[in-house]
Amino acid sequence: MGQLVERTAGVGAGLATEDMILNIGPQHPSTHGVLRLRLVLDGERIVSAEPIVGYMHRGAEKLFEVRDYRQIIMLANRHDWLSAFCNELGVVLAAERMLGMELPVRASWARTMLAELNRVLNHLMFLGSYPLELGAITPIFYAFREREDLQKVMEEISGGRMHFMFNRVGGLKDDLPAGWLDRARRTIHAVRGRLADIENLIHGNEIFRARTEGVGVLTTEQIAAYGLSGPIARAGGVDFDLRRDEPYLAYGELGDVLRVVTRKAGDCFSRFDCLLEQTRVSLDLAEACADRLAALPQGPINLRLPKVLKVPEGETYAWTENPLGINGYYLVSRGEKTPWRLKLRSASFNNIQVLGELLPGHLVADMVAILGSMFFVVGDIDK
């Protein structure tokens, strides 16, 4: 091993200059997971950056091919562990479309509501962790207080706190418990009220603004070229949201509540700002869904399925607006009980590709600000 080290030392010509090679990750506090960035530094300025992914590759796509559709839901909700419900959604939507299923109305509204609650959970995580990366240690505890309350609501209905596993092909696993809607509505109301705490603490802070404004600016061209999506793209002025532009579930009927939050600047601050505002919109959407669900007549929330679920031959692409961006499943079936191929397009994988272009020219300290504002989940990158 000693020999090997010596050999690479001879090759590393970069060391002869004043450039310094710094490996951020795989075990680094600011990459929340095992993302690795290889930076070349001149002093504290980044000369070049290369994201190295794959430390957490679990072969999800290959595993999809040897699991039946009930098991796939469980696998699918794990790649982005902060938006498990939304991940499940894509799989069941694809399967339902291929099977030509007509979803019960209540299932469609309940799914929309849960997806929005999951989005709030996800966004709260980043609203807390981003200030933490910039050195403000308190907001994350505020965010986690809200998350805790929302997780209780989700736990009551599904039994899970992260991996809800509540979607089924043809609907939801169970009906909503009695009185759950009211409890959910109260929680939504409380969370919306206390969201101001986070905003007051960090949003207007001078240092926070100085750290984030004008830092890590993504242009519309870059966003288009790299296929960025979600709050990151919308913060850069790309007005694109599948919930509005290609409505699925009940989003088509929520047009008056659904506001697509966009910002112009494309810097770290507008990404954070966008996320904060989007959290509010999601709370509004969830509340609207709860109102609608209460008004709907009783009825089934799922469809009966055959013991062996075989999806007819064909292919389809189901994409959803996940909290972190567009999440798509390309399902190819040959009529078996397992998919022949289930390609996963995850949001974070595309979103972090731009780092190689975004980081050079910034300071190491900015790197942390930018990484945090890219809102990624490592499992979603490595799949």
Partner 1 sequence: MDTYVPILALGLIAAAFAIFSVVIGSLTGPKRYNRAKLDSYECGIEPTPQPVGGGRFPVKYYLTAMLFIVFDIEIVFLYPWAVAFDALGWFGLAEMVLFVLTVLVAYAYVWRRGGLDWD
Partner 2 sequence: MPQFPDAVSNQNMTNWFLGSFDTHIPWWFILVVIKAVAAFAILVVLTLFNIWYERRVVSFMQMRIGPNRVGPQGLLQSLADGVKLALKEDIVPTNADKPVFWIAPLLSAIPAFLAIAVIPWGPAVSIFGHWTTLQLVDLPVGVLYVLAISSIGIYGIVLAGWSSGSTYPLLGALRSSAQMISYEVAMGLSFAGVFLYAGTMSPSGIVNAQQHGWYFYMLPLSAIIYIIAMVGETNRAPFDLPEAEGELVGGFHTEYSSLKFALFFLAEYINLVTVSALAVTMFFGGWRAPVPISLWSGANSGWYPMLWFMIKLLIFVFVFIWLRGTLPRLRYDQFMAFGWKVLIPVSVLWLLVVALFRQLRNAGDLDRAHAVPIGIGIAAVFLLLVVALEVRERNQIRRTPPPTVPDYEPLAGGFPVPPMPGQSAPAVPRRPQFARTAAAPAPALNGTTAEEASTR
Least distance CB 40 / partner 1 (angstroms): 11
Nearer to partner 1, 15 or 225 (CB): 15
Least distance CB 55 / partner 2 (angstroms): 17
82-96 in b/e form (b: 16+ CB < 10 A) is bbbbbbbbbbbbbbb
In this structure, what token pair is assigned to residue 358?
Answer: 């975004």
Strands (E), 236-324: 314-322
User: What residue 8 binds from partner 2, partner 1, none (CB within 5 to 8 A, per partner kind)?
Assistant: partner 1
Nearer to partner 2, 64 or 130 (CB): 130
CA angle 83, 88, 94 (to 5 degrees): 135
Distance CA 317, CA 91 (A): 10
User: What residue 162 binds from partner 2, partner 1, none (CB within 5 to 8 A, per partner kind)?
Assistant: none
SS3 369: helix
Which residues have CB under 8 Å from 137's CB, separation 6+?
none
User: What residue 368 binds from partner 1, partner 2, none (CB within 5 to 8 A, per partner kind)?
Assistant: partner 2
Residues forming contacts to partner 1 in the complex (CB under 8 A) are 1, 5-6, 8-9, 12, 15, 18, 20-21, 23-28, 34, 36, 42-45, 363
Nearer to partner 1, 9 or 137 (CB): 9
Least distance CB 290 / partner 2 (angstroms): 27
Least distance CB 355 / partner 2 (angstroms): 15
Residues forming contacts to partner 2 in the complex (CB under 8 A) are 20-23, 28-30, 44, 131-138, 141-142, 145, 201-202, 205, 207-208, 210-211, 213-214, 363-369, 372
Nearer to partner 1, 28 or 341 (CB): 28
Nearer to partner 1, 45 or 67 (CB): 45
5-34 in b/e form (b: 16+ CB < 10 A) is eeeeeeeeeeeeeebeeeebbbebebbbbb
Least distance CB 46 / partner 2 (angstroms): 12
Reference 274, options 213, 233, 305; nearest CA is: 233
SS3 176: coil
